[in-house]
C-alpha cells in the first residue's frame, strides 16, 4: 500500500499501461476501451497495494464512486500486516439461519470484529428479491454484505474508505 504521491514518471507509466490494456478482453466489459476509467482503477489499486491487473479487475466505479469487489477487498485486508484470520458463514449455514456472519481478527485487538447481515436486514433495505444477484445468488449477497461491513469496521486503514461493489 502506498501513501506517497504518485510521481509524473509513474503516472505516465500507468497511463501508458491503461491505454495498452483498455481495449483488450482482459478488462471488464463495463470499462473496456475507456482509458480514463482503467487509469483510475490503476491509481486506486496502487493506493490499496494491488497489482495493476488486479486493480483493473477489482476496482469498479458504481454510482460515481470507486468501489472494490468483495473478494478483492478481502485480498487487500489479508495483505495487511495486522491481519490474523477471518471466518465467514457457509451458504448452508446462511440458508439454515437466514444470517450471514463474518468474523475477522486484527493483531492487537483481543477479540475479533463480528458483522452480520440477515434476510431481515435485506428486506428492510429493500434488497431481498430485487432482480439481479439478489434473486440469483441471495446467500452470496448476504455473505458479501456481512464481509464488506466487517472489513471496513476492522480495517478502515487498509480499505481507504472504499465500500464493496456488492454493497454499492
Euclidean distance between CA atoms 82 and 106, whole angstroms: 5
Which pLDDT band holds residue 12 (cuts at 50, 70, 90)?
very high
CA distances from 50 to 21, 144, 164 (A): 16, 20, 15
CA distances from 67 to 50, 60, 136, 159 (A): 14, 5, 22, 10
pLDDT in tens, 132-147: 999 999 999 999 999 9
Q: Taking CA 151 as the corner, what is the angle to CA 52 and CA 164, rounded to the nearest 5 degrees?
A: 55
Give, rounded to a whole angstrom, the gap between the first and last alpha carbons of the chain. Answer: 23
Give mean pLDDT, residues 104-109. Answer: 97
Give mean pLDDT, residues 126-131. Answer: 96
Instruction: State the pLDDT at residue 102.
Output: 98
Which pLDDT band holds residue 153 (cuts at 50, 70, 90)?
very high
Which residues are within 8 A (CB) of 107 and not within 5 positions of it... i.e. 6 or more apart?
Answer: 81, 82, 83, 84
Amino acid at each position: 500500500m502506498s501513501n506517497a504521491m504518485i510521481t509524473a514518471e509513474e503516472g505516465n507509466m500507468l497511463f501508458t499501461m491503461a491505454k495498452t490494456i483498455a481495449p483488450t478482453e482482459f478488462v471488464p466489459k463495463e470499462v473496456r476501451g475507456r482509458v480514463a476509467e482503467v487509469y483510475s482503477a490503476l491509481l486506486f489499486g496502487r493506493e490499496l497495494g494491488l497489482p495493476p491487473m488486479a486493480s483493473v479487475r477489482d476496482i469498479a466505479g458504481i454510482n460515481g464512486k470507486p468501489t472494490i469487489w468483495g473478494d478483492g477487498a478481502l485480498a487487500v485486508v489479508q495483505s495487511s500486516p495486522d491481519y490474523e484470520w477471518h471466518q465467514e458463514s457457509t451458504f448452508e449455514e446462511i440458508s439454515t439461519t437466514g444470517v450471514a456472519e463474518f468474523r475477522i481478527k486484527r493483531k492487537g485487538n483481543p477479540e475479533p470484529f463480528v458483522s452480520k447481515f440477515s434476510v431481515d436486514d435485506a428486506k428492510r433495505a429493500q434488497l431481498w428479491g430485487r432482480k439481479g444477484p439478489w434473486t440469483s445468488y441471495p446467500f452470496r449477497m448476504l455473505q458479501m454484505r456481512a464481509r464488506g461491513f466487517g472489513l471496513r469496521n476492522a480495517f478502515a486503514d487498509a480499505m481507504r474508505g472504499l465500500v464493496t461493489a456488492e454493497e454499492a
